[in-house]
A = this chain, B = another copy of it.
Amino acid sequence: MYVIAVYDVGIDRLNKVRIFLKQYLNWVQNSVFEGELTKAEYIKVRSEVKELIDEDVDCVFFYHVRDKKYLGFDEMGTRKTNIDTII
């Protein structure tokens, strides 16, 4: 399955969430990771993120499609070149 994770997480927990997500997905924009996951990985990722965030304050969405071919994509502007060096 192809997964897009978008998050609005407090600064105190942000790096932990990013470091964790980076193990499974690609960081593509400031608050967005995406990539191919198995069903088992997806369950693990959600479970772990749930532990890392403060559910009363933070918010994480996971969008997913069965196959990347079902997902259209357009981008504009400039991707940060240093996005992988921030954490």
Identify the A interface with B (CB < 8 A).
1, 4, 6-8, 28-32, 46, 49-50, 53-66, 70-80
Chain B residues with CB under 8 A of A28: 61
Q: Which of B8, B53, B71, B76 contacts A31 (CB 8 A)?
A: B8
CA distance A32 to B62 in the complex (A): 12
Each complex incorporates copies of this chain amounting to 2
**Shortest beta-carbon distance from A1 to chain B in Å:** 8
The 6 closest A-B pairs by CB, nearest first: A8-B30, A64-B72, A59-B77, A58-B77, A62-B74, A55-B77
Chain B residues with CB under 8 A of A60: 75-77
Q: In the complex, are the beta carbons of B76 and A29 less than 8 A apart?
A: no
